[in-house]
Structure 1
Amino acid sequence: MLGLSPLTRDLPELQRDQLSKKLTSYSWAADELIFRAGDIPAGAYLLVAGRVRLTHDTAEGQELTVQIACPGDVLGSLHTHPVETNETATALETVCALFIPASHLESLIAEYPGLAIALVRLQQENLASTRADEIALTTRTVAQRVAGALLQLDRKMGVDVQDGARLLQVKLRRSDIAGLAGTTVESASRTMARFKNEGLVESGREWVKILDRQALESI
Structure 2
Amino acid sequence: MELIQIFQDARVEKFKRGDVIYKMGENPQNIYFLKEGLVGLVVWGESGKDHLLRLFKKNQIFGHRSFFAQEPYHASATVLDDTTVLVLSKDEMRVRMKGNCDLAEKLLQTLATELRRSEEKQVVLTEKDVTARIAESVVYFKDLHPTHSWTRQEIADFCGTTVATVIRTLAKFVEDGLIEQRGREIVILKKEELLSQG
| TM superposition score normalised by structure 1 | 0.79
1:39 maps to what in 2?
A: 26
| Contact 2:132–2:196 (CA under 8 A) maintained in structure 1 | no
Question: Could you tell me how far apart the structure 2 residues matched to 1:152 and 1:191 are?
Answer: 16
Moved more, 190-199 or 85-94: 85-94
What letter corresponds to residue 13 of structure 2 in structure 1?
Answer: Y
1:190 to 162, 168, 173: 168
Question: Could you tell me how far apart the structure 1 residues matched to 2:183 and 2:64 are?
Answer: 32
2:135 to 122, 142, 147: 147
Q: Deviations over 1:66-99 (max 9, x none)?
A: 2332111222134357531122222223211011
Q: How does 1:124-143 map to 2 (within 5 A)?
A: 124-143=112-131
Matched length: 196
1:52 maps to what in 2?
A: 39
Moved more, 104-113 or 141-150: 104-113
Residues 111 and 27 from structure 1, CA distance in 2 versus in 1: closer, same or farther, beyond 3 angstroms?
Answer: farther
1:217 to 190, 195, 198: 195
Question: Could you tell me how far apart the structure 1 residues matched to 2:110 and 2:24 are?
Answer: 22
User: CA offset at residue 53 of structure 1?
Assistant: 2.8
| Contact 2:7–2:86 (CA under 8 A) maintained in structure 1 | no
Question: Could you tell me how far apart the structure 2 residues matched to 1:173 and 1:154 are?
Answer: 12
Partner SS, residue 90 of structure 1: strand
What letter corresponds to residue 135 of structure 1 in structure 2?
Answer: V
Question: Could you tell me how far apart the structure 2 residues matched to 1:85 and 1:203 are?
Answer: 36
The reply to whether residue 20 of structure 1 matches residue 8 of structure 2 is yes
The reply to whether residue 74 of structure 1 matches residue 61 of structure 2 is yes
Q: How well do the aligned residues superpose, as a CA RMSD in angstroms?
A: 2.2
Partner SS, residue 51 of structure 1: strand
| TM superposition score normalised by structure 2 | 0.87
Q: Deviations over 1:92-141 (max 9, x none)?
A: 23211011222332332224321111111111112111211222122111
Unaligned runs of 5+ in 2: none
Question: Could you tell me how far apart the structure 1 residues matched to 2:150 and 2:184 are?
Answer: 4
What letter corresponds to residue 152 of structure 2 in structure 1?
Answer: R
Unaligned runs of 5+ in 1: 10-15, 159-168
Residues 25 and 181 from structure 1, CA distance in 2 versus in 1: closer, same or farther, beyond 3 angstroms?
Answer: same
| Contact 1:42–1:81 (CA under 8 A) maintained in structure 2 | no
| Contact 2:178–2:190 (CA under 8 A) maintained in structure 1 | yes
Question: Could you tell me how far apart the structure 2 residues matched to 1:216 and 1:58 are?
Answer: 29
Partner SS, residue 56 of structure 1: strand
Residues 80 and 214 from structure 1, CA distance in 2 versus in 1: closer, same or farther, beyond 3 angstroms?
Answer: closer
